[in-house]
Amino acid sequence: MNGYGELLKYIQDFLVKDGIVKTINHADIFERDSHNENKFPLINIVPIGITFDESITIFNIDVECLMQRDLRKDVKHRDEYKLNDNLVDNLNTTYAVLRRLFEHLKRSDVFTVELLGTGTPIIYKNKNTLDGWSFSFNIEYSEIEVDVC
């Protein structure tokens, strides 16, 4: 019964190999970057729920991908439509990371993935200036062994 650990390792291994994500957090929903020590892009994997029967376990997780907003100080009159910061770039990059992760999970022989609903933008202009997307996934895992040791 180590399916959740295998899932986290599978995701981490892919993200490290992909080479774009610099920080991978787990279950850190309130302190995404409160210590300003992370390198970006950042992935945050949040467990939401779990269901199971005799042989199948379904993990419900949220995966957030975030980047730091670069607020240009040389702009006197900020016009969001002129794109005076990198908000759109952040949203594009974080979407691309999550899209590649989803495609990788779909090709897995161990897990079956289902995208739940639509992605939610995360835009924290006035807090910690992190931007990105959050997607919810159901990840199905076949329990072959039920030994807790």
Q: Residues 91-124: pLDDT tens digits?
A: 999 999 999 999 999 999 999 999 998 999 998 7
Sign of CA dihedral 49, 22, 92, 18: negative
Q: Residues 10-52: pLDDT tens digits?
A: 999 999 999 999 999 988 666 565 556 778 999 999 999 999 9
Residue with tokens 């993990």: 59
pTM value is 0.84
Contact between 27 and 45 under an 8 Å Cβ cutoff? The reply is yes
Confidence at residue 128, expressed as pLDDT on a 0 to 100 scale:
75
Question: How many other β-carbons are positioned within 10 Å of the β-carbon of residue 105?
Answer: 21
Contact between 132 and 90 under an 8 Å Cβ cutoff? The reply is yes
**Tokens standing for residue 138:** 């159901």
Confidence at residue 2, expressed as pLDDT on a 0 to 100 scale:
85
Could you give the CA distance from residue 17 to residue 104 in angstroms, rounded to a whole number?
A: 12
β-pair partners for 24:
43
